[in-house]
Structure 1
């Protein structure tokens, strides 16, 4: 028994080391990229915040030469970008491995702007059934008004199943890996093969996998990020980004953003760029801490399932192991069938270190019930009983598990 426990402990330590490896590799890049060049007169370490709407030009000729500037991260007008936004976009494009990035006003806008940029009336869209809820609503409530048909496919669909769902009008296959709330890891290279064989684009919501998954090395055409989460890292910014793999896709994306008035304030871009400086350190810590807390849940008799991509029982674990260099601090937990939702809510109310609220990716730990709040078209994949999503912050793991321990008493009282 002791020998078995030793083996399990060694495996856990090895996984903890592996899960943070990708972040350690990014630390130097995030510290030194998009920094001001030193001058003979001296400069501050960081860029300043420049707020403005009107951009002044010395001559009419310079003013009229705005076509190329608008598509090359240069100043034209405040609504088309600001200096710190352009620096942020260059860093993100390099981080994701793409050609260009467009910063937008929110994570949801990062999902909707490329859909509007690359879909036309009468097109067909494939969305995973595990997609972020607001993206699902956008397709159902908005895209249908323009004759765009949406089919929801099983997130773990094999190649044959996906091929059957593609039509002659399919313009986009959308992926979200891991899936929202249920954490299925998708086979992105396979989905890319299917999309490209039919002349469609593959769009990926890569928010969970920022820095740990290289989208364009696996066939993705457009990568989506809610910068609200780990890049800003302090729960005080709403912002998003869209990165393209190919130059050919930059023009329609950029034009769509301009025509819809999509932009982000200088202050929000500055805060996000500042957050990125410490993201590698934060995410390495949070990923390892989350794994420890996930193991704590796994050993609890009240828990029947822990939805964490690093665990072999998580759907698509083999794809996570093959394609990712790390993990995030977000995962899901399902309780025994005899534990009621009311008991789970009492447990959550009894927590002192976990905030109850939406979003994730900040420095604080959060918890959110998922029972009854997740929509699926297909059968299967959803928790059968009381379940919640949990985000692990920067707190001491021992403090978090002690807090969970005392709160779990509410499950049986």
Structure 2
């Protein structure tokens, strides 16, 4: 039968072979996925490792990326989400119900805390706060369902007592979820932390950061080793219609080959900046897990045995500097640009007032306004010069 031109435009008479061998895998863009026959339609189940039934459930492009992220993190199963925060919300909505208790560190990622407070207000989920460097402050009751771990802590970069916190959670039958964006699966294996193979139940990762590497793709992941947990998450993932585009997945996939090289470079550049920042009189405190006087350094040294420490540094200015002074400093930077996130080629800076961010007393933190540096791929000497020039713009009476 010869079709009309309009039909031929949709049902092409010839089709090139679908697979070739190439460095980068092909990109699949699909909402509808066609079944070969009714056997293929009905002899499938959503728990299959690769359920090709609809675009939201996955394509070869998204499954390939998920498999690689799971391997990097030390897990077995991975679900991709449109952002790191959506991955966090997937975990919360999957495992928390009315009357449950969830434990979060005082230095948790701010939007996660905001989301949990919303769940507390609307659904009666009790949010409890613990000190990440004091495992004894984690006191789960029989209602405790989930504990969020942050390594290192948001903004102030305390490294938690991961091993003791996980041990306590397991003893209380509490699920452990680690925001592993800082470590990126490269600083340590969250699923195998010590000789006893102690590990978390699941990790969440903002692939927006180091895996993407370009500051232009939003994506997140949830990785597990346990099939039962994975199926629970996968079901919620499907019910919520959570998915990522094939083009975005391919962009992240393309960046994975250089991720460890970029991570190591930014980590090493951060160490070089640390040595200089510690000598500057304007700072009351420099915060970074690799510093021996930083909170949680012993715990960092315990699990990050390869010495990796990401590319984030926070400094607390001496308390006699006012907000206007710190704003002048940030505005005077040329290479560091004002912006959230990290892991891209461009160095970033952001300022914070900890009084608005913390609920517990943090005796290990000096008084003063905080600035966080996110180290990019520029030469560290140039970044040091940029900070030095900006410090010169501070009021002269503060220089000592």
Q: Shared fold by TM > 0.5?
A: yes
Aligned counterpart, 1:14: none
Q: CA RMSD in A?
A: 1.6
Structure 1 residue matching 2:393: 3-state secondary structure: helix
Cα offset for 1:103?
Answer: 0.6
Aligned counterpart, 1:283: 263
Alpha-carbon contact 1:71-1:254 (below 8 Å) kept: no
Aligned counterpart, 1:202: 176
Cα offset for 1:66?
Answer: 3.3
Aligned counterpart, 2:376: 393
Alpha-carbon contact 1:286-1:394 (below 8 Å) kept: yes
Alpha-carbon contact 1:230-1:283 (below 8 Å) kept: yes
Q: How does 1:2-401 map to 2 (within 5 A)?
A: 43-68=21-46, 70-159=47-136, 161-162=137-138, 165-210=139-184, 211-218=186-193, 219-324=199-304, 325=306, 326-371=308-353, 374-380=356-362, 384-401=367-384
Alpha-carbon contact 1:282-1:394 (below 8 Å) kept: yes
Alpha-carbon contact 1:371-1:383 (below 8 Å) kept: no
- Classify 1:44/1:55 alpha carbon distance in 2 versus 1 (closer, same or farther; 3 Å): same
Structure 1 residue matching 2:141: 3-state secondary structure: coil
Cα offset for 1:94?
Answer: 1.1
Q: Structure 1 residues 141-150 or 203-212, which shifts more?
A: 141-150
Structure 2 residue matching 1:216: 3-state secondary structure: coil
Aligned counterpart, 2:391: 408
Structure 2 residue matching 1:410: 3-state secondary structure: coil
Cα offset for 1:382?
Answer: 5.4
Cα offset for 1:42?
Answer: 5.1
Cα offset for 1:299?
Answer: 0.7
Unpaired stretches in structure 1, ≥5 consecutive residues: 1-38
Aligned counterpart, 1:34: none
Cα offset for 1:158?
Answer: 2.8
Structure 2 residue matching 1:173: 3-state secondary structure: strand
Distance 1:242 1:320 in 2: 23
Distance 1:65 1:296 in 2: 63
Query: What whole-Å deviation, never above 9, does each CA across 1:377-406 have from its counterpart, x for those lacking one?
Result: 212265521211111111011111111111
Distance 2:276 2:37 in 1: 66
Query: What whole-Å deviation, never above 9, does each CA across 1:44-86 have from its counterpart, x for those lacking one?
Result: 2111222111000111221123314x54133110111121110
Query: What TM-score does the superposition give when structure 2 sets the normalisation length?
Result: 0.89
Cα offset for 1:153?
Answer: 1.0
Unpaired stretches in structure 2, ≥5 consecutive residues: 1-16, 194-198
Structure 2 residue matching 1:300: 3-state secondary structure: coil
Cα offset for 1:245?
Answer: 2.2
Query: What TM-score does the superposition give when structure 1 sets the normalisation length?
Result: 0.86
Q: Quick one: higher RCO (CA 8 Å, sep 6+), 1 or 2?
A: 1
Decide which structure has the larger Cα Rg and report it. Answer: 2
Query: What whole-Å deviation, never above 9, does each CA across 1:239-260 have from its counterpart, x for those lacking one?
Result: 0000012122111011111111
Q: How many residues align?
A: 370
Distance 1:65 1:349 in 2: 61
Alpha-carbon contact 2:45-2:51 (below 8 Å) kept: no
- Classify 1:373/1:207 alpha carbon distance in 2 versus 1 (closer, same or farther; 3 Å): farther
Query: What whole-Å deviation, never above 9, does each CA across 1:151-198 have from its counterpart, x for those lacking one?
Result: 111122233x32xx2111001111101110111111111111111111
Structure 2 residue matching 1:411: 3-state secondary structure: coil
Alpha-carbon contact 1:304-1:335 (below 8 Å) kept: yes
